[in-house]
Structure 1
Amino acid sequence: MEEEKLMSKKKPAFPVTKKLHGYLREYNRTIKFPIFYDDLLRFSGSTVVYDRNDEDTLWIRVYYNEFDDQEIDLSLKRVYSILHSDGSDAILQFLNVDAIDYCTFGNSKPFRIKVRNVLNDNYTYFYVKKADASRIYGLELEHMLSPYNLNFLVYKDTLIEEHIAGIPGDVFMKELLPICSEMEKSQIAKEFVKFNERCMIRLLGDMRSYNYVIVPTHDFDHVVYKIRAIDFDQQCYEGKFKVYRPQFFKENIIMVNLVRDKLQRSSVDQYKVEERSIVAKRLISCHERMEELLDCARTDTISIPENVEQLKMEILQFVQDVEFKKARNMGEVLGAALDFVKRNYEDISTRRLFNGS
C-alpha cells in the first residue's frame, strides 16, 4: 500500500512535439498569450501560505519588484480574458489579481493565480505551468472520457489550466465524511469504485487523496457526490499497473474501507461494468478526435522503455489480451487499453442484439 514502492522518485517533463502542437491548434487548445511560466519565476520575495487551521499549505505567495509587477499583473488579466472570455481588453478594468501563489511541492511546480471581479468580489483561479506532453494527454483524455469538460491552453512551453472546483479528497475524508449520512457514504463508495475504474482504463496515475476533489451537488431532496481528478502529471508514465488504480494508495484507505463496508461484491462489479460502458460510449462518440490524439501519443515519448515494458506485461497478465504485448511505447499501451474497453463493449452489444435482449 505504500506509495514509495509504487511511484518513481521524479517524473521528467516531456516536450510538446510538433505533431501534438498541430493537434492542439486543430482543437483550439493553443493561442498566443502574453506571459510565460518562466516570467513568473522572477519573483523577488515570498511568504508562506497557511490554511484556516494555520497549517503550512506548501504554497508560497510571491511578490515582484514594481517594474515587473505592473507588466505581470496586466498580462495575467489578459490571460484570464483569453481563458474565460473573448480575449478582449474590455473586461480588464474590472479585474484584480489578488494573489500569485507558487507551489514548491510536486513535479509541476505550478503558479496559482487568483483573479477577482472588483464589481461583485467574485473570484476564480487559474494555473500557469510548464507545458508537459504527458500532462496534456491527461487533460485531453479527461476532457473526452470523463463526465467533465476541461478548459486549458498551451503556447510554446507554457500551459494554462482552469481551476477545478471541489473539496480536496484528504480534507473531505477528515472533516466531512464522518458527518455524512449512511446513504451518502454508500453513494460516495460507489463513486470511488467508478473513479478507480476510470483512472485504470485511461492510465491516469497517482490519484492520492490530495490529487482529486469531491464535488457535492445539491439535488432537490439529497446531495450527490462526484469525484474529479485535478492532477494529470502522471498520465501514462509509471511502469507499475497499481499506480493507475487509486485503491492501492494508502492515502485512500478510508475510501477503500468505505467500499468494503458499504457495497457488496456484486454491486462493485456492477459499477465497474457501468463505468467501462460509459467510457466505451464516449470513445465511440469522440472516435475521430481520440484517434488523432492517440496518433500523436503513438509517435511520442512520454515514458522510459523499462516502464513501458513493465506496464504492458502487467496489464497483459491482468486482462489476457495479446495486443498489449505488441505495444512498443506508452502511446501504444494506452491505445491498446482503450481499444480493449471499446472492443469488449461492442462485442457484448452485438451479442445482445443477436440474442434479442
Structure 2
Amino acid sequence: MTEERLMSRKKPAFPVCPELEAYLEEFSRKIEIPISYEDLLRFAGAVVVYDSLGEDTLWVRVYYSDSERQEIDLSLKRVYSILHSDGSDRIFQYLNVDAVDYCTFGNSKPFRIKVRNILNDNFTYFYVKKTDASRIYGLELEHMLSPYNLNFLVCGNTLIEEHIAGIPGDVFIRDMLPSCSESEKAQLAKEFVKFNERCMIRLLGDMRSYNYVIIPVHDFDHVVYRIRAIDFDQQCFEGKLKIYRPQFFKENFTMVELVRKKLLPDSVDQYKVEERSIVAKRILSSGDRIRKLVDIARKDPISLPEHIERLKSDIYDLTLDVNFRKCETMGDILALALDFVRRNYEDVSMRQIIEKRIRI
C-alpha cells in the first residue's frame, strides 16, 4: 500500500478549546511567552541547510533585519529560560542564539532554535510551532503513558517544545543498524514491538522512521536501545487502524524484517503483553490527570466523521468489544481503548490474586 493511500492528504490544525486551555493552565503548561510563531515568520531571507553528506535537510536557516534581530534574540533567550530554568534574565549574558531554522516540510512547519552557552559551548534546541489541539493531546499522552516526560509550553497560537535527543530512525536504519551485533539487533526488534504496541494503544499515528528517534543507552558492558516518538501531529486523527501501527509503513520495513528474523511469535506476544501491562500501570498511576484530559478529548472535534466511523469499526474487528461501535467521537474511541487495556490488566491481576488464595 502506498503512503498516499494509507494517509490522508493533509491534516488540518485544530484549535484549542476552552476546556483544554483550562487543563493546560491547571497543569502549568499554559504560560505567557514574549514571542509568537508569527513573529518568527518575519524573516528577511533564508539559506538552505545541508547535512554532512551535502544533502538538503528540508530546513532553511533564516535571518532577520538588524532592527528586529536584537529583539528576537532576547525573546528567544527568555523562552529558553522559561522552558529550561526559572524564567529569570540572569542567564542571558551566557546565552547565544546560534541559529533559527525553519522547516519547509510537513504540516507543522516548525522553527528550530539553537541556543549555545558561550562559557562552555554546550548547546541545545527547542522548537516553536503553531498550536494544534491534536499535537497537545499527543504530547500530554506521551508524557503520561510513555517512559519519558515531556516539557512543553502553550501561549495562544504558539507551542514551544523541548528538543528530544536521539538518532533519527531513518538515519539509524541506513547508517548504523548494519553494524549492530546480533544481540543488539534482537534488542532493537524487541523495542520496535513495544513501540508499535504503545503507539496503537494510545492512537499515535504516522510513526514513519523519520518521526521517531533511536536512543543508545550504555549499560555496563552492552548498549541498550530505546525508541521514542518525536512527532505528535497525528494523534487521534486518521481513520485507518494501520496508521497507528508503525509496522505498516514502508519506511519501517527493515525493522519489521528484524522482528521477523530475531523474534519467535511467542516472544512477540510476550513483549506486547509486557507493553500493555506497563501502559495500564501508567494509566492507573496517572490518576485524575489522564481522566481529565480524556474527558476533554471526548467532547473535542479533533477528527472527521468518516475517520471516526472507520476507526471504531477497525478496532471492533480487532477487539470484538461492541462498545467501540457506540463511540461518537475520536475522544470516545481513545477513552475506550485506554479503558480496554486497563480493564484487561486488572482482570488478569485479580485472577492471579484469586488463584493464589485458592492455592493457599
TM-score normalised per structure 2? 0.98
User: Which whole-Å CA distance do the structure 2 matches of 1:118 and 1:322 have between them?
Assistant: 60
**Deviation string for 1:60-88 (max 9, x for gaps)?**
00011111111111000000000000000
Q: CA deviation at 1:5?
A: 1.5
Quote the residue 2:234 is aligned against: 234
Quote the residue 1:13 is aligned against: 13
SS in 1 for 2:121: coil
Quote the residue 2:171 is aligned against: 171
Q: How does 1:57-136 map to 2 (within 5 A)?
A: 57-136=57-136
Determine what percentage of the aligned residue pairs are the same residue: 72
User: Which whole-Å CA distance do the structure 2 matches of 1:214 and 1:90 have between them?
Assistant: 35
**Deviation string for 1:17-57 (max 9, x for gaps)?**
11101000111111101000000000010000000000000
User: Which whole-Å CA distance do the structure 1 matches of 2:186 and 2:351 have between them?
Assistant: 33
**Deviation string for 1:275-314 (max 9, x for gaps)?**
0000000000002100000111011111011101110111
Q: CA deviation at 1:142?
A: 0.2
Matched positions, count:
357
User: Which whole-Å CA distance do the structure 1 matches of 2:65 and 2:81 have between them?
Assistant: 24
Quote the residue 1:349 is aligned against: 349
Question: Which amino acid is 2:219 matched to?
Answer: D
Q: How does 1:96-245 map to 2 (within 5 A)?
A: 96-245=96-245
Q: CA deviation at 1:4?
A: 1.5
User: Which whole-Å CA distance do the structure 1 matches of 2:149 and 2:73 have between them?
Assistant: 28
Q: CA deviation at 1:2?
A: 2.4
User: Which whole-Å CA distance do the structure 1 matches of 2:144 and 2:221 have between them?
Assistant: 30
User: Structure 1 stretch 260-269 or stretch 317-326: which is displaced more?
Assistant: 317-326
Question: Which amino acid is 1:263 matched to?
Answer: L
Q: CA deviation at 1:348?
A: 0.6
Question: Which amino acid is 1:31 matched to?
Answer: I
Write out the 4+ residue segments of structure 1 that deviate beyond 6 Å after TM superposition. none
User: Which whole-Å CA distance do the structure 1 matches of 2:227 and 2:350 have between them?
Assistant: 32
User: Which whole-Å CA distance do the structure 2 matches of 1:330 and 1:35 have between them?
Assistant: 32
**Deviation string for 1:95-152 (max 9, x for gaps)?**
0000000001000000000000000000000000000000000000000000000000
SS in 1 for 2:300: coil
Quote the residue 1:311 is aligned against: 311
1:273 equivalent to 2:278? Answer no
SS in 1 for 2:24: helix
CA RMSD of aligned residues (A): 0.7
SS in 2 for 1:194: helix
Q: CA deviation at 1:6?
A: 1.1
SS in 2 for 1:60: strand
1:336 equivalent to 2:309? Answer no
Quote the residue 1:263 is aligned against: 263
Q: CA deviation at 1:323?
A: 1.5
SS in 1 for 2:154: strand
User: Which whole-Å CA distance do the structure 1 matches of 2:2 and 2:226 have between them?
Assistant: 26
SS in 1 for 2:60: strand
Question: Which segments of 5 or more consecutive residues in structure 1 lack a partner in the other structure?
Answer: none
User: Which whole-Å CA distance do the structure 2 matches of 1:274 and 1:10 have between them?
Assistant: 34
SS in 1 for 2:220: coil
Question: Which amino acid is 2:106 matched to?
Answer: G
Quote the residue 1:33 is aligned against: 33
User: Which whole-Å CA distance do the structure 2 matches of 1:51 and 1:296 have between them?
Assistant: 42
SS in 1 for 2:43: coil
**Deviation string for 1:227-270 (max 9, x for gaps)?**
00000000000000000000000000000000000000000000
Q: CA deviation at 1:219?
A: 0.8
